[in-house]
Amino acid sequence: MKYIDCHAHVNFDAYAEDRDEVIKRALDDNTWIINVGTQLDTAKFAVELAEKYNEGVYAIVGLHPVHTSASYHDESEIGEGGKEFTPHLFSTKEKGLPLTTFSKKSGEGFTSRGEEFEMESYRELAKHPKVVAIGECGLDYFHMEGDTKAIQEKAFRGQIELAKSVGKPLMLHIRNGNGEIGNAYSDALAILDDYPEVIGNVHFFAGTVEDAEAFLSRGFYISFTGVITFAEDYEKLVRAVPLNRILSETDCPFVTPKPYRGKRNEPLYVQEVVKKIAEIKEESLEIVAEKLFENAERFFGFKK
Ligand SMILES: [Zn+2]
């Protein structure tokens, strides 16, 4: 059986000590990995990691919406637990660039480093044969501070245009806030309507069944993390998405699935996500693992 973690961050600091072992553990157990960049430095590092391995490690390059402006995030946002969980705020130390400061242990908050989407730098990376998508990009209304909606939209549109020009799909990060700013899912769809030739995957999907159907009808895929192993409200959603349009992911180092809760997450644990999807779909693990792997091959079109 083959598995694939379509959205991992082994390129983040959380793996500084044992990165190669983490990757090897997954590959040795027939589990492929796609590392996702969230800023220029983490994107470059994801590509470098992909280059190190002959097969089974790929990269996605882009600018996460929370990194489109510098904003302070309170420690209370950190912590695992379904939709309340904070994404992607680790960075790499390797490049010697200014870092997102984030200290989980000390209980301090962190400041997201603002970055403008520089099309040409990302285009260079995007052309690499091991880069299989553009992202993670989109709209994050949960972490929005002040009126930065227009800034997020500008970076999002830039990345959709890049995806279109290099002929690769999007890896979308879409997250709602308290509703005051609007619905991030419908706003994202309205933007995407301007680019009908571009498709994508909605990572860590946490919208409604109606939101999911709107993306599916546009040809998009939807991926689920380990959150489905411990949060029951995802069952209806997983049931509603056809098996041929689901991708499996961990979003590691975040949202560790059962039975590893409390430990740092890693790509190998995507197997638990696939098991849970099989359970909800009432299908055999063999069939579901095979289908999810085929979905990823079709969606990303891996090249050596
Ligand atoms: Zn992510």
Task: Give me the chain's average pLDDT, please.
Answer: 87
Dist CA 288 CA 3 (whole Å):
10
Expressed in angstroms and rounded, the spacing between residue 88 Cα and the centre of ligand 1 is 5
- The pLDDT tens digits of the residues spanning 120-147 come to 999 999 999 999 999 999 999 987 766 7
How many domains are there within the chain? Answer: 1
CB environment 166-205: b (16+ within 10 A), e (fewer):
bebbbbbbbbbeeeebebbbebbbebbeeeeebbbbbbbb
What count of other Cβ atoms lies within 10 Å of the Cβ of residue 208?
15
Secondary structure letter of residue 1 according to DSSP: -
Expressed in angstroms and rounded, the spacing between residue 300 Cα and the centre of ligand 1 is 17
Where residue 119 sits, what CATH number does that domain have? 3.20.20.140
Expressed in angstroms and rounded, the spacing between residue 9 Cα and the centre of ligand 1 is 7
Expressed in angstroms and rounded, the spacing between residue 35 Cα and the centre of ligand 1 is 9
Distance of CA 194 to the CA centre of its chain: 23
- Tokens standing for residue 195: 């680019």
- The pLDDT tens digits of the residues spanning 180-211 come to 888 999 999 999 999 999 999 999 999 999 99
For residue 169, the enclosing domain spans 3-300
Q: What are phi and psi of 138, to 5 degrees?
A: 145, -140
Dist CA 103 CA 110 (whole Å):
7
